[in-house]
Amino acid sequence: MKAQTSRFGLIEVQDKALLEFPGGIIGFPESTRYVILDHDRDVPFKWLQSLDEPDVAFVVMDPVLFKPEYRVEIDQKDIPELTALDESDLTMFVILTIPSADPQGITANLRAPVVVNHKTRIAKQVILKDELPTRYPLFIPEPGQAGSNPEPIAIAASR
């Protein structure tokens, strides 16, 4: 299938790459078909591009790359929608916010990760009961330099 996007122009999407979000993403309930696109093979960021709305795309990342201890428990009510028989069928990523005025101020929404059943390609953004931040900073300032020259929190090499 071909899809028009505002950032990437016309793209070709294989059926096996299509992600289906039956309930949409928070704030975008009408956009239910997405694809993950590489931002750049040398960085861990990817794009979650809507195939229903050309202007809708999110920067996403595997949270383990910047917060290795990040683990979530999925509510049992979310499991049937994801059609997962086993935890190993599921993968997860988080949506990032990159302020245009301060690109070093990147934050991750740890409270509402996206969970994907990689076998069925069904996905869902889940809202966790845990009190996790919706704006967890990926970078922290160096000691003594509040807000400037941020150092990355340990980001592991790409898988």
What pLDDT digit, counting tens, does each position of 4-56 carry?
999 999 999 999 999 999 999 999 999 999 999 987 777 889 999 999 999 99
Q: What is the mean pLDDT of residues 1-6?
A: 91
* Closest to 21 measured CA to CA, from 119, 109, 134, 116: 116
Does the pTM surpass 0.85? The reply is no
State the number of CA atoms in the 13 A half-sphere of 126 facing the CB: 24
Q: Give 140's contacts (C-beta < 8 A, 6+ positions apart).
A: 150, 151, 153
Domains in the chain: boundaries: 2-152
**Which pLDDT belongs to residue 82?**
80
**Which pLDDT belongs to residue 81?**
77
CA distance 14 to 76: 31
Q: Which CATH superfamily is domain 2-152 in?
A: BH3618-like (2.30.290.10)
Q: What is the pLDDT of residues 110-124, one digit of tens each?
A: 999 999 998 999 999
Q: Give 95's contacts (C-beta < 8 A, 6+ positions apart).
A: 25, 48, 58, 59, 60, 108, 109, 112, 114, 125
pLDDT at 156 over 80: no
Q: What is the pLDDT of residues 72-96, one digit of tens each?
A: 887 777 777 787 677 788 899 999 9
